[in-house]
Amino acid sequence: MFVRINDINLKTKTCLTKISREEGMMRKTFTNFDGMLFFMGSGSHCMYMKNCIIPLDIIFIDSNLNIVDIFNDCEPCKTDNCPNYCSSGEYVLELPGGFCQKNNIVAGDVCSFDI
Protein backbone atom coordinates (compact mmCIF):
# COMPACT_ATOMS: atom_id res chain seq x y z
CA MET A 1 0.00 0.00 0.00
CA PHE A 2 1.18 3.55 -0.70
CA VAL A 3 0.55 6.67 1.36
CA ARG A 4 1.01 10.07 -0.25
CA ILE A 5 1.73 13.20 1.80
CA ASN A 6 2.76 16.51 0.18
CA ASP A 7 3.85 14.91 -3.11
CA ILE A 8 5.85 12.26 -1.24
CA ASN A 9 4.93 8.64 -2.03
CA LEU A 10 5.63 6.19 0.78
CA LYS A 11 5.54 2.43 0.42
CA THR A 12 3.94 1.17 3.63
CA LYS A 13 3.52 -2.09 5.42
CA THR A 14 0.01 -2.38 6.87
CA CYS A 15 -1.04 -3.51 10.34
CA LEU A 16 -4.60 -4.75 10.17
CA THR A 17 -4.80 -7.27 13.01
CA LYS A 18 -4.58 -6.79 16.77
CA ILE A 19 -1.34 -8.79 16.89
CA SER A 20 0.31 -6.84 14.05
CA ARG A 21 -0.75 -3.52 15.66
CA GLU A 22 0.71 -4.59 19.03
CA GLU A 23 4.02 -5.69 17.46
CA GLY A 24 4.35 -2.73 15.07
CA MET A 25 8.00 -1.72 14.59
CA MET A 26 9.32 -3.79 17.51
CA ARG A 27 12.74 -5.23 16.56
CA LYS A 28 12.36 -3.95 12.97
CA THR A 29 14.01 -1.44 10.67
CA PHE A 30 12.58 0.01 7.49
CA THR A 31 13.71 -2.60 4.98
CA ASN A 32 11.83 -2.71 1.66
CA PHE A 33 9.23 -0.24 2.96
CA ASP A 34 9.18 3.43 4.02
CA GLY A 35 6.61 3.36 6.79
CA MET A 36 4.14 1.28 8.76
CA LEU A 37 0.42 2.11 8.55
CA PHE A 38 -1.83 1.00 11.40
CA PHE A 39 -5.58 0.65 10.84
CA MET A 40 -6.81 1.58 14.32
CA GLY A 41 -10.52 2.39 14.05
CA SER A 42 -12.07 5.59 15.32
CA GLY A 43 -11.26 7.02 18.73
CA SER A 44 -8.26 7.82 20.85
CA HIS A 45 -5.19 5.58 20.66
CA CYS A 46 -1.77 5.35 22.28
CA MET A 47 1.45 4.14 20.68
CA TYR A 48 4.66 3.22 22.49
CA MET A 49 8.25 2.50 21.53
CA LYS A 50 8.94 -0.69 23.51
CA ASN A 51 11.59 -2.86 21.85
CA CYS A 52 11.88 -0.54 18.85
CA ILE A 53 15.43 -0.19 17.58
CA ILE A 54 15.26 3.19 15.82
CA PRO A 55 13.56 6.55 16.61
CA LEU A 56 10.20 7.03 14.91
CA ASP A 57 7.87 9.82 13.87
CA ILE A 58 4.31 8.85 14.87
CA ILE A 59 1.53 10.45 12.80
CA PHE A 60 -2.16 10.27 13.74
CA ILE A 61 -4.55 10.55 10.76
CA ASP A 62 -8.33 11.02 10.94
CA SER A 63 -11.04 9.36 8.82
CA ASN A 64 -10.84 12.25 6.31
CA LEU A 65 -7.11 11.51 5.90
CA ASN A 66 -6.06 14.74 7.61
CA ILE A 67 -2.99 14.63 9.84
CA VAL A 68 -4.24 15.35 13.36
CA ASP A 69 -1.05 15.06 15.40
CA ILE A 70 2.65 14.25 14.97
CA PHE A 71 5.12 13.06 17.58
CA ASN A 72 8.64 13.60 16.22
CA ASP A 73 11.76 11.52 16.88
CA CYS A 74 10.22 9.23 19.51
CA GLU A 75 13.09 7.35 21.12
CA PRO A 76 13.20 3.54 21.47
CA CYS A 77 12.39 2.17 24.92
CA LYS A 78 13.84 -0.99 26.48
CA THR A 79 11.94 -0.98 29.80
CA ASP A 80 8.38 -1.94 30.76
CA ASN A 81 7.60 1.69 31.64
CA CYS A 82 7.69 3.29 28.18
CA PRO A 83 6.14 6.69 27.38
CA ASN A 84 2.84 6.62 25.50
CA TYR A 85 2.13 8.87 22.53
CA CYS A 86 -1.64 9.40 22.45
CA SER A 87 -4.03 11.17 20.12
CA SER A 88 -7.15 10.46 18.09
CA GLY A 89 -7.38 9.14 14.58
CA GLU A 90 -8.51 6.30 12.39
CA TYR A 91 -4.93 5.55 11.27
CA VAL A 92 -1.41 5.84 12.64
CA LEU A 93 1.60 6.10 10.35
CA GLU A 94 5.10 5.41 11.68
CA LEU A 95 8.06 6.76 9.74
CA PRO A 96 11.79 6.97 10.50
CA GLY A 97 12.55 9.59 13.15
CA GLY A 98 13.11 13.06 11.69
CA PHE A 99 11.29 12.31 8.43
CA CYS A 100 8.44 14.76 9.09
CA GLN A 101 10.69 17.69 9.95
CA LYS A 102 13.00 16.96 7.01
CA ASN A 103 10.02 16.87 4.61
CA ASN A 104 7.94 19.68 6.17
CA ILE A 105 5.07 17.36 7.13
CA VAL A 106 2.84 19.02 9.74
CA ALA A 107 -0.55 18.62 11.40
CA GLY A 108 -3.24 19.71 8.95
CA ASP A 109 -1.56 18.15 5.90
CA VAL A 110 -3.76 15.77 3.90
CA CYS A 111 -2.85 12.18 2.99
CA SER A 112 -4.10 9.84 0.30
CA PHE A 113 -3.94 6.06 0.20
CA ASP A 114 -3.33 3.90 -2.88
CA ILE A 115 -3.59 0.15 -2.73
- For residue 75, give Cα distances in angstroms to 4, 24, 25, 95: 25, 15, 12, 12
Q: How confident is the model at residue 25 (pLDDT cuts 50, 70, 90)?
A: confident
What value does the mean pLDDT of the chain take?
A: 94
- Any idea what DSSP says for residue 66? B
What is the average per-residue pLDDT within 57-81? 96
pLDDT score recorded for residue 80: 86
The residue among 35, 99, 38, 107 whose CA lies nearest residue 70 is 107
- Any idea what DSSP says for residue 104? T
How far is it, in rounded angstroms, from Cα 79 to Cα 67?
29
Question: Which region, left, alpha or beta, applies to residue 34 given φ > 0 means left and ψ of -120 to 50 means alpha?
Answer: alpha
pTM given for the model: 0.94
Question: In CATH, what number is assigned to the domain containing residue 70?
Answer: 2.60.120.1140
Domain of residue 82, residue span: 2-114
How far is it, in rounded angstroms, from Cα 85 to Cα 60?
10
Question: How many structural domains is the chain composed of?
Answer: 1
How far is it, in rounded angstroms, from Cα 57 to Cα 17?
21
Burial class (CB in 10 A: 0-12, 13-18, 19+), 70: buried
